[in-house]
Amino acid sequence: MTLLRVDDDAFTNDFPNRTFALKHELANHPLLTLPRIVDLIRELPRDRLEYNSGRAAISQDPNATPLIDLAPVEIVRQIETCGAWMVLKQIETVPAYRALVEETLMSVARARGFATLHEAGFDEIEGFIFVSSPHSTTPFHADSDENFFFQIHGEKRFYVFDNRDRWIASDEALEAVVAKHRNLPYDPRYDVRQTPYRLFPGDGIFVPYQWPHYVRTAASHSISLSVTWKSAQVRRLNDLHIVNSMLRGLGFPQAVPGQNAAFDSVKLALFRTASTAVEPLRKSEAMRKLLRGLVLGKNANYYYRDGAKKDAEKKAA
Ligand SMILES: [Fe+2]
């Protein structure tokens, strides 16, 4: 079955360097309904769930994101009225969702003449489901992967910006979205540079690596699926951003990736040796939390902040 239809010209001319629109057949898929998503929440570990109020600003300081005091299952059940935004991460860890995510990308691979996902460049594949209330905002941010985004239910306005435009996001900011937090500051003067999409069920887009974007839902709740992957080039850039951020944090300013290829290779080799050594520990949620804190700093586990909700409510009151 072909789950995704993309104009040949878009792949020839734009992929993977520019954003473009696409059509898909996923809108009525049984794995993407609210009741099934409630079940999925119960199948995922806590650190695969992130949620907050949908009243976030476009330019949102991640440490001041407005929170919501509801259990994840209740957020999905009450999504039409509770004013929330939620993402379920790495849904491909659940076998049925892995099959869906892989079949989606295989549609692209086959259409482009490849026999396997790897041949087509689709490595480190992950899936994300977004569930959001009417009139909620996903703040301006950039993701460190390549992404097909599919609208499943409701309407979304999706505003994408070219990341080669350093007026919009500096080199340092693009390092921070890998090493610290994905959010970026937004200036309304950027409006003139946006590529706006109005997405209804059956619509989708391609979002290239680190192209900044913000998203708003319209008058009904929204369900979206995002299928991401990381090419070898993207993995290299991400690892270098993390090493550079760690070294910068120790007081050693770093050139951006690509400016000193030989030194990049040395840093990459050292980092990957260390990462391979700790990889078996990442099977445990507690160890993942500890490692994130060690590598990325004290705010790395920001989505474990249930205790902070009460503080936020007190401040808001
Ligand atoms: Fe995103």
Whether residues 221 and 239 share a domain: the answer is no
Whether residues 112 and 156 share a domain: the answer is yes
Whether omega for the bond prior to residue 95 falls within 30 degrees of 0, making it cis, is no
Contact status, residue 222 vs residue 155, Cβ threshold 8 Å = yes
Whether residues 201 and 306 share a domain: the answer is no
Q: How many domains does the chain have?
A: 2
Domain boundary among 183, 207, 230: 230
Q: Give the pLDDT of residue 311.
A: 44
Whether residues 238 and 130 share a domain: the answer is no
Whether residues 217 and 177 share a domain: the answer is yes
Whether residues 41 and 182 share a domain: the answer is yes
291-301: pLDDT as tens digits: 666 666 656 66
Ligand 1 centre and the CA of 142: distance in Å? 6
- Give every CB contact of residue 145 below 8 A, 6+ residues apart in sequence: 124, 126, 209, 228, 229, 230, 234
Domain boundary among 204, 230, 256: 230
Q: Give the pLDDT of residue 98.
A: 98
Whether residues 101 and 225 share a domain: the answer is yes
Whether residues 79 and 187 share a domain: the answer is yes
Whether residues 151 and 285 share a domain: the answer is no
For 296, the domain range is 234-316
Ligand 1 centre and the CA of 308: distance in Å? 24
Q: Give the pLDDT of residue 257.
A: 87
- Cα within 13 Å of Cα(256), Cβ side: 8
Task: Find the helix or strand (DSSP H, E) in which 267 lies.
Answer: helix 261-278
Q: Give the pLDDT of residue 262.
A: 80
Ligand 1 centre and the CA of 146: distance in Å? 10
Ligand 1 centre and the CA of 48: distance in Å? 16
Ligand 1 centre and the CA of 204: distance in Å? 13
Q: Give the pLDDT of residue 295.
A: 66
Angle 261-278/232-249 helices, nearest 10 degrees?
90
Model confidence at 287: pLDDT above 70: no
142-184: pLDDT as tens digits: 999 999 999 999 999 999 999 888 889 988 899 888 988 999 9
Q: Give the pLDDT of residue 267.
A: 82
Whether residues 165 and 217 share a domain: the answer is yes
Tokens for 126? Answer: 């992950």
Ligand 1 centre and the CA of 317: distance in Å? 31
Q: CB burial class (10 A; 0-12, 13-18, 19+) of residue 197?
A: buried
Ligand 1 centre and the CA of 75: distance in Å? 20
Ligand 1 centre and the CA of 252: distance in Å? 30
Ligand 1 centre and the CA of 312: distance in Å? 25
Average pLDDT over every residue of 127-156: 97
Is 71 or 258 the better-scoring residue by pLDDT? 71
Neighbours of ion ligand 1 (CB under 5 A): 143
Whether residues 210 and 287 share a domain: the answer is no
Model confidence at 313: pLDDT above 70: no
Domain boundary among 230, 247, 271: 230
Ligand 1 centre and the CA of 82: distance in Å? 22
Whether residues 181 and 244 share a domain: the answer is no
- The CATH number that applies at residue 148 is 2.60.120.650
Q: Give the pLDDT of residue 294.
A: 65
Ligand 1 centre and the CA of 199: distance in Å? 15
Ligand 1 centre and the CA of 140: distance in Å? 8
101-116: pLDDT as tens digits: 999 999 989 888 899 9
Average pLDDT over every residue of 204-217: 96
Contact status, residue 142 vs residue 181, Cβ threshold 8 Å = no
Lowest-pLDDT range, 47-56, 260-269, 296-305? 296-305
Q: CB burial class (10 A; 0-12, 13-18, 19+) of residue 78?
A: middle
Q: Give the pLDDT of residue 201.
A: 98
